[in-house]
Every structure is written in C-alpha cells, then in structure tokens.
Chains A and B, each alone.
Chain A
Amino acid sequence: MGETDVLGSHTVTEPEIVAFATTYDPQPFHTDPEAARGTIFGGLIASGWHTCAIMMRLSVESARRKQAVLTGSPGVDSCRWLKPVRPGDTLTVRAEVLETWASRSKPIGFVRSRVEAFNQRGEIVLSLVGLSMYRRRQEGSA
C-alpha cells in the first residue's frame, strides 16, 4: 500500500497524435497542426483518449515485466486531463496503490490505484484513479 512505481515512458510524435485523432477524435486541434494554431490550445494537442491509451500501453508492459497477470478492469473512478500533451512531449507514467482486496468467489484480486502521467517538465498531464483485476497466486504455486 502506498507503494509508488514508475511504469515507463513514451515520447509522443505528431504523426501519432494525428493518426489516433483522425480515427477516434477528429477535432481540428487534434488532427490539423495549422488549424490547431488558431484554437485556444495554440497548437496541436493529443486527444485525451490517446493519452489514456498510452498510459494503458505502459501499464500492460510494466505488468508483463513483473509477471503480473491482468484480467481486466471494472472501471475508472475519475480521470482528469490536466494539461495539453503536445508533439515531442515525453510522458512518464507512475502508479500508486491505494487499496487492494481479494474476490471472495474468484481467484482474482482487485487493486485501486492512482495513475499519473507527467511530461518532461514534471507537469502532471493526466491523473486517474482506477481499478485493475489481477490473477491471484494459487496455493502451492511459486
């Protein structure tokens, strides 16, 4: 409990921002660098859903390195996109365990974590509190 863990880092590129947003969030400030300049954001920014997806990628890779077996998630209590994510930003994701409990009926456990992504200036761009389910180690297994 209270354990904070750095899950990994990812540098976000302009083609990546445009590709994600063209498919899933086609608004000018996510897809068109020229048009984005004239918006309140003053330039191209990543879709908040894209930032969430990057966070997920880093979480999955981190779990794999630790040989933890994720089995899905019931949901996210809250998520805030606190600052724009721009091309060239390097995002680092860290997670803090808030609470854990075991399922009474299934061989799984629940973990509630606060997950934050911050940029190369140390500014938090994404903050969420969410649940993950993990497979539990069986009695007698290593």
Chain B
Amino acid sequence: MSGRVYFEDVQVGQTQRFGGYEVTREEIIEFARQFDPQPFHVDEEAAGRSMFGGLIASGWHTCAMLSRMICDHAIPGTATTGALGFDDLKWLKPVRPGDVLSVETRVLEKIESPRRHGVGTVKIESRVLNQRDEAVMTLSSLVLYQSRATA
C-alpha cells in the first residue's frame, strides 16, 4: 500500500481537526477591497456603526481561509483532484480581527460516480471554529478522490 489516501481508503465518519489561522485586520480589508467591498468589511468606522459593531471578514474570505487550511493540513498525502462544489454553507457568526480559526472535518458520505474515470466523490463536512470553539461557518464539500485502481 502506498502512503497516499485514495477513494477506497476514505471511511465515512472519519474526523480530522487542524488549523490555527490568525485573522488580521489588514487581511480582512485587503480581501474585501478586492472581492466584497461592503462598509462592514472594509471600513472600521462604518463597521462600528453597523449591526455587526465592528469590522468583520467577508464570508467568502472565511471560505478562502478554510481552503488554505485544507491545502496546508488535509490535502497533503491524499489523492484528491479538486471539488465539484458544496452544499449547506452557513455563516453562523462574524469573524473578527484577532480570531484564530481552525477546522473540524467529518466524512459524511462516499458517492461513487463511475462515469468520471477513476474518480469518486466524497461529501465532507467542514466546521470552521474560532478560538472560543464557536462554529463560525459550516459547509459540506463534494471532494473528488482518485480511485486506487486507476492510480
């Protein structure tokens, strides 16, 4: 058995926890200026007057930070080839400067798709947690894994 994790090796119910992403004010503003320039993401004063009571990260920035944590900690050693998309994304709590994010993943389901040559789909739930262990975002990704048979 080679060291890589293929579709066949994935088990429903498996969990992983990783992360430690420090969210900075500068990064929140930089991301949002480019992709989500709403006052509560780019302007501290306006954010203070908004219903959020201060600067918060764009929800898509939280997705991007989740992606980075997955790339750094979950993908190495696995035979994944991308993702089809996701379901049930919920932005549950604001992400603020100084927050430290981590991720808890759980394999929900293995979906075989023989028409995709040697590639199977795995539904994986990710919960993004802050330093108080509050879930700030959850989603279920459809991740593509190579089959060992065709590797």
Contact = CB atoms under 8 A, between A and B. Distances in A.
Contacts, number: 84
Question: Which bracket fits the contact residues of B?
Answer: 20 to 34
Contacts of A29: 82
Interface of B is mostly: mixed
A124 interface: no
A53 B85 contact: no
Nearest to B137: A75
Interface residues of A, number: 33
Nearest to A75: B90
Contact of A77 (B63, B65, B88): B88
Interface of A is mostly: mixed
Contacts of A128: 85
Given A24-B68, A71-B51, A78 B35 contact: no
Interface string B47-75: 00011100000111001110110010001
A122 interface: no
Given A49-B67, A79-B85, 19 more contacts: A24-B67, A24-B68, A25-B64, A25-B67, A40-B81, A49-B63, A53-B34, A56-B60, A57-B36, A70-B38, A72-B40, A74-B90, A75-B90, A77-B87, A78-B86, A79-B87, A81-B84, A128-B85, A130-B89
